[in-house]
Amino acid sequence: MAERSFAREVEDLTLGDGELFRGEGILAITKALLQSGVSYVGGYQGSPISHLMDVLADAKPVLDDLGVHFESSASEAAAAAMLAASINYSLRGAVTWKSTAGTNVASDALTNLASSGVKGGALIILGEDYGEGSSIPQERSHAFAMKSQMWLLDPRPNLESIVKSVEDGFELSEASNTPVMLQVRIRACHVHGQFVAKDNRKPAFTMREALENPIRDLNRIVLPPQSITVHDREKLEQRWPAALDFIRERQLNEFFGPEEGPVGIVLQGGMYNSVIRALQLLGLADSYGNTSVPLYVLNVTYPLLDDEVVRFCQSKRAVLMVEEGHPDYLEQAVNTALRRKDVQTRVAGKDRLPLGGDYTASVLMKGIQSFLDEFEPQMLGNRPPLPSADAVLGSPQVKALAEVVPARPAGFCTGCPERPIFAAMKLVEKELGQHHISADIGCHLFSILPPFNIGGSTMGYGLGPASASAFNVPAGKRPISVMGDGGFWHNGLNTSVGNAVYNKHDGVIMIVDNHYSAATGGQDILSSRAENPLRSTNNSITKAVQGIGAKWVRQIDRTYDVSKMRDTLKAALTSDVEGPKVIVASSECMLNKQRREKPLFSKGVKDGKRMVRQRFGVDEDTCTGDHACIRLSGCPSLSLKHLDDPLRDDPVASIDNTCVGCGNCGEVSEAAVLCPSFYRADIIYNPTRLDRVVAKLRGAVIGFFQRRRAARRIAFA
């Protein structure tokens, strides 16, 4: 079950010709796939394309109706390999993942796919997660396109252009027998906009027809000598020229503004809105994108059409290349194209725009201003006042904010079952000293941040234990590595656990099993506990680990038992058993659990059923304000409260009503012997008659003693 239900969005997927689609970029892409007559779709979830996968997962009836096969791939490599269906058959296929993290994983398959070439359109939709808010390395998909000779689309970030790019992408792929990558930046994935829909198209040629009429062509198989005598030659002599012809004839790249001008701007399609905003602020464009500076918008950033580049540049004194990210692949390519034709137009670019980072409107505004200042200053003629916050930012009051505004890193959700695992790890470290800890990708990576500050490296999804593999030497301490269930099934079973078993690695492997691929939005995976009618779930991680040869394996089915977590971890660190010591720490992701249980609870209460809700609290009388509990938790619902008691200096811990009663607070304070301030309150909704009678009886006896003592107590009121 994914984090969000897309039942309503699925309705948008059935919009017909002429109807107006309003919504998020990623949903528009999904709709575009169906309008393009796609036969199969696969992918691996991850921001910012998780919603595409989730919508399709919820859209089974629509897909069945169109005869589209959809699957949640085990990894990006599996998704890329899926495109092999388009090598021999005229089947349109699309896959999607988060780039560049996913493209790295998929590269093996992509290399071979690009070598074989495709008959049916093969589209790879990349959620480009570059810049602010990104959780992955600051690399570019562009390099993958260049090295494998796949074409890269980077459409203008509005729904109409993106949808058109999907449709164009399939045709380009078929016209040039080459897989096509479509990159959509994170903000474009989440942009709300609109486009006029078309009818969905059933694929002309079905998966079933293909399967029942197999085709085999030796020339499409990657093996010497084909790869060099056929594929390499095809790439250079047929596919590339065919792609150039298609891009040129179909005018996939766009020109805006006056045809002639002393200067111009060449830009990636994805940069269009920011460039226009910069021009608007400089007084060089109106609200609707009419610009007085000629623009050459590369909706296809690879390959580059040398003749188009020359045509745009040759009459101009200078052009500015707007290319986000590094290295400056496009700037180099533009320069090469101009040099080959001996065109002397100056190419400005990274000499006045930042080498890396987001190209925001204000960054571009400064870059374009500096470019025009040098090459065509009279364009800046009337020079409207430019928006700037410099004066405010320079004021002492705003500068002083740097001291008080706290960093707010992402952390574990309220009630997260991973919190007690790291609390236990901290307790073990207090006892046995600091250890080398290899982290992995997933929610559990939040352990590297305060308050836990655990983990020294993260190498890739499912690679946590593998990244500790060098530390397999006799020593006084063992390395600990962490991996989530998502990473485990993505890659970790073999690359991390198999590797450790085979090499008799002596370290401890902590597998954090929260029943979902939680960080990407709570999608089901092999070991998910829910019954999923479309997929095979409930496949045990413990059995898989044992099956691959691990001897010392412990499964903990309630991570909130901090003492048990701590003792198991200690046992793993001290066991004599050879080979990796594997702990599978398993409790359901609280976000998903609450989503499922909260409505049921409310309904139960509404129906008058006896329901018990648990939440935690802190007795402010006994809390001394040391906050050791917070340093072992970081739970959003565990916060601070200032008292108005003149005898107190420090705020006390306090739990708000968002507490879900996971139990971590109590278990931690008990395991770490913190303090007796925590209490759990069991609130019985719709108590039964028995509940009421027992409560009354207890209340009477307890009340008697309480009154008795209160009467005898001599104290100021």
Q: Which listed range, 108-116, 185-193, 316-324, 544-552, lies at the site for another protein (CB under 8 A)? A: 185-193
β-pair partners for 584: 511, 555
Q: Which DSSP category does 627 fall into?
A: -
Nearer to another protein, 83 or 635 (CB): 635
Q: Report the residue from 11, 65, 137, 192 that binds another protein according to the rule CB under 8 A.
A: 192
Please state the closest distance from residue 628 (CB atom) to another protein, in A: 5
Query: Which one of the spans 101-109, 118-126, 531-539, 682-690 is the region binding another protein (CB under 8 A)?
Result: 682-690
**Positions in 545-564 near another protein (CB under 8 A):** 563
Instruction: Select 223 or 404, whichever has its Cβ closest to another protein.
Output: 404
Could you say whether residue 19 binds another protein (CB under 8 A)?
A: no
The residue among 591, 445, 443 whose CA lies nearest residue 519 is 443
Contacting another protein within 219-248 (CB under 8 A) = none
Can you tell me which of 236, 410, 475, 577 binds another protein, judged by CB under 8 A? 410
Residues 6+ apart with CB under 8 A from 582: 497, 508, 509, 511, 545, 550, 552, 553, 554
Comparing CB distances to another protein, the nearer of 244 and 285 is 285
Q: Whose Cβ is closer to another protein: residue 222's or residue 605's? A: 605
Q: Smaller CB distance to another protein: residue 121 or 367? A: 367
Provide the phi-psi class of 92: left if phi over 0, else alpha when psi is between -120 and 50, else beta: beta
Q: Which is nearer to another protein, 150 or 439 (CB)?
A: 439
> Where does 526-672 show beta strands of DSSP type E?
552-556, 581-586, 611-618, 638-641, 652-655
* Least distance in angstroms from the C-beta of 414 to another protein: 8
Task: Report the residue from 26, 186, 230, 267 that binds another protein according to the rule CB under 8 A.
Answer: 186
Q: Which stretch binds another protein (CB under 8 A): 79-87, 283-291, 301-309, 527-535?
A: 283-291
Strand ranges across the sheet with 480-484: 457-458, 437-439, 480-484, 508-513, 581-586, 552-556
**377 contributes a contact to another protein by CB under 8 A:** no
Nearer to another protein, 109 or 653 (CB): 653
- Interaction residues for another protein, span 312-351 (CB under 8 A): none
Closest CB 363 distance from another protein, rounded Å? 10
For the chain, the maximum distance between any two Cα atoms, rounded to a whole number of angstroms, is 103
How many residues are present in the chain?
717
> Please, what is the Cα angle at 100 between 97 and 103, to 5 degrees?
60
Q: CA-CA distance, 365 to 452, in Å (whole number)? A: 41
Residue with tokens 């388009």: 86
Considering only residues 337, 638, 660, 662, which one is a binding residue for another protein as defined by CB under 8 A? Answer: 638
CA 381 to chain CA mean position, Å: 44
Interactions with another protein, residue window 608-627 (CB under 8 A): 615, 617, 619, 621-622, 624-627
Buried b (16+ CB within 10 A) or exposed e, 111-122: bbbbbbbbbbbb
Of 58-97, binders to another protein (CB under 8 A) are none
The residue among 473 and 647 lying less far from another protein, judged by its C-beta, is 647
Q: Please identify which residue in 409, 547, 549, 599 interacts with another protein, judged by CB under 8 A.
A: 409
Residues numbered 452 to 471 that lie near another protein (CB under 8 A) are none
DSSP for 557-589 reads S-TT-HHHHHHHHHHHHH---SS-EEEEEE---
Q: Under rule CB under 8 A, how many of the chain's residues touch another protein?
A: 135
Stretch of 117-125, 294-302, 575-583, 700-708 lying at the interface with another protein (CB under 8 A): 700-708
If you write DSSP's letter for every residue of 150-172 in order, what string do you get?
Answer: -EEE---SSHHHHHHHHHHHHHH
Question: Of 73 and 669, which CB lies nearer to another protein in the complex structure?
Answer: 669
Strand, helix or coil for residue 285: strand
Asked if 680 is part of the footprint of another protein (rule: CB under 8 A), the reply reads yes
Which range binds another protein by CB under 8 A, 218-226, 269-277, 330-338, 594-602? 269-277
Binders of another protein in range 133-152 (CB under 8 A): 133-135
Separation in Å, CA 72 to CA 42, 84, 101, 203:
6, 16, 17, 20
Give φ, ψ of 297 to 5 degrees: -100, 115
471 versus 685: smaller Cβ distance to another protein: 685
